[in-house]
Amino acid sequence: MSKDTTLVFECLLHNHTQKEKHRELEMFIREGLRGRQIKIGTPVLITHPDIIRLRFSSLLGLDEDRTFGGFFHVNAPYAVKIHFYTNKKSRCDVFQQDEEQLFETTELPAEKLDCLWESLHFEKNTHNTLLSVITTMFRFSLAKVNSKIIGINRMVLLHGPPGTGKTSLSRALFNKVAIQNAHLSFSYLEINCQALFSKWFSESGKKIARLFAEIQSLSDDKRKVVFVLVDEIESLTLARSTALGGNEPSDSIRAVNTLLTQLDRLTEKNNVIVIGTTNLLHAIDDAFLSRVDISVEIEPPSHRAAYNILVSCIKELASCGLLALREKLAYFDSILAMNGFEYSPEHAKHSQSEQLYNIAKLASLVPLTGRTLRKAPFIAYTGIISRNDTPGCDALLEQLHRDMEQRKTEAQRVTK
Ligand SMILES: Nc1ncnc2c1ncn2[C@@H]1O[C@H](COP(=O)(O)OP(=O)(O)OP(=O)(O)O)[C@@H](O)[C@H]1O
Ligand SMILES: [Mg+2]
């Protein structure tokens, strides 16, 4: 194993009732990781691959010769899946002369996207629906399905208000599919349309040509699946209309048209899957919209998702020693499980979970986006920091509650 490779593994229990095995495995991995906190089912980054490799080889009989990035030991009551993350440098040489990159190509699964999937909280079917969509596209492309017969362009559009997690979800989705199919090769390329048509306004045409040359060359390798994220796609339409109103419209209109033509050409490539994101569905170029196979709306978090986001923030503050927790805060599904799948405020009366549940309800009424929710604990913390060096969770929750009430009142004032 080369030095620029790290290992990530995911543990899946075949039989969820086997708690004993679950614990045994967890203990075993903990030991192997020298006490690192891990959660079964979540990919974990291992910094000492040789230790774990040795231990797993003896436990599960890992075939040393297998070079692909994952294995399943199907006969065991549990399975351990190991992923190899290649920490290759992104190929940013294409735009080396620019101070900032227009795009970068990353091999997937990528370490920098580790656990992004788990950090995003939506209603359950958002994650699953999108994963099924991308997996289906990917399977069809592996099977070389003729897209003239089965009408797919392998293009998905995510739309919704700013800060609802569209960009993060797209990245996480691609990484997840790559993790689940770790024996195959995936490349990921991200195009930021906003940067393309503002920062590189005058040279957009040249850059687009180089960008698509890169995608073409990646996708020429038929063993590879190429994921492309076209972020903030509404910028194309805005650029076109700005150009029409300006003095020298021809260059940028040509650039927008080139980008659309090139995207169109990608639909001929069986092994390229594109996700586009936008805040403004109505501002999307019709040419792009008509090629999209599935368009999914990403909404601000529901109260469940808001609750989970806030729990993750509070856990982070506690694990950094910045917040004293009185009780263990559980994620929403665990609370439901504890209550026979029905939330009962009686059950958790006066508990912090209940307080947080009420805060999350307020947040979903405003509604607050994931981006704002992730900032909310920081803002609340600024209101309590002067009183105590290590504030308690109660103080933070009270402050959060006040902040949410205030936001709700402001939102109501605006809508009146
Ligand atoms: N549902 C969510 N669960 C957890 N975190 C979220 C969620 N939605 C947004 N976030 C967090 O908010 C931040 C912004 O998300 P992101 O940039 O993906 O949103 P976006 O929809 O692409 O925004 P924009 O439209 O402005 O580009 C990220 O740090 C992300 O983790
Ligand atoms: Mg975005």
Q: Degrees (nearest 5) of the Cα angle 16, 20, 24?
A: 110
| 286-326 pLDDT per residue, tens | 877 888 999 999 999 999 999 999 999 998 899 888 999 88
Closest C-alpha residue for ligand 1 atom 6: 370
Ligand 1 near 166 CB (within 6 A)? yes
What gap in Å lies between CA 416 and CA 411, rounded to an integer?
9
How far does residue 137's CA lie from ligand 2's centre (Å)? 22
What gap in Å lies between CA 328 and CA 106, rounded to an integer?
38
What gap in Å lies between CA 108 and CA 70, rounded to an integer?
13
Residue at 45: amino acid letter: L
Token digits of residue 282: 């109505």
Ligand 1 near 207 CB (within 6 A)? no
Give the closest residue to 3 by CA, choosing from 68, 60, 88, 61: 88
What gap in Å lies between CA 256 and CA 131, rounded to an integer?
30
In this prediction, residue 3 carries a pLDDT of 38
Q: At what angle do helices 393-415 and 352-365 cross, to 10 degrees?
A: 20
Give the three-state DSSP class for 67: coil
Contact call for residues 326 and 303 (beta carbons, < 8 A): no
In this prediction, residue 116 carries a pLDDT of 83
| All domains of the chain in start order, with CATH | 5-86 (no CATH), 92-297 (3.40.50.300), 303-415 (no CATH)
Ligand 1 near 301 CB (within 6 A)? yes
Rg of the chain on CA atoms, in Å: 24
**Preceding amide of 367 cis, omega within 30:** yes
How far does residue 162's CA lie from ligand 2's centre (Å)? 7
Collect the ranges in the chain with pLDDT lower than 70.
1-102, 182-183, 199-202, 242-250, 333-350, 387-388, 416
Ligand 1 near 307 CB (within 6 A)? no
Which stretch of DSSP H or E encloses residue 370?
Answer: helix 370-384
Token digits of residue 215: 């995608």
Give the closest residue to 312 by CA, choosing from 320, 130, 177: 320
Q: How far is CA 39 from CA 9, 118, 133, 406, in A?
A: 11, 11, 27, 36
Contact call for residues 214 and 189 (beta carbons, < 8 A): yes
What gap in Å lies between CA 70 and CA 8, rounded to an integer?
9
In this prediction, residue 353 carries a pLDDT of 83
Look-up: residue for tokens 């729990």?
311
Ligand 1 near 370 CB (within 6 A)? yes
E-strand spans in 15-168?
Answer: 44-46, 78-86, 105-108, 155-159
Which stretches of 234-350 are DSSP H helices? 234-245, 249-266, 286-289, 303-319, 332-338
In this prediction, residue 95 carries a pLDDT of 33
Q: How many CA atoms lie within 13 A of 228 on its CB side?
A: 27
**Preceding amide of 109 cis, omega within 30:** yes
In this prediction, residue 412 carries a pLDDT of 83
| 132-172 pLDDT per residue, tens | 999 999 889 888 898 889 999 999 999 999 999 999 999 99
Contact call for residues 275 and 230 (beta carbons, < 8 A): yes
- Residues contacting residue 368 through CB under 8 Å, at least 6 positions apart: 300, 301, 306, 376, 407
What gap in Å lies between CA 340 and CA 94, rounded to an integer?
56
Give the closest residue to 72 by CA, choosing from 6, 8, 12: 12
What gap in Å lies between CA 41 and CA 25, rounded to an integer?
12
- Locate the ligand 1 atom nearest the alpha carbon of residue 279 and give its number: 25
Look-up: residue for tokens 């936001």?
407
- Locate the ligand 1 atom nearest the alpha carbon of residue 161 and give its number: 25
Q: How far is CA 237 from CA 229, 233, 253, 292, in A?
A: 17, 8, 10, 16
What gap in Å lies between CA 162 and CA 119, rounded to an integer?
18
Token digits of residue 220: 């020429």
Residue at 379: amino acid letter: I
Ligand 1 near 165 CB (within 6 A)? yes
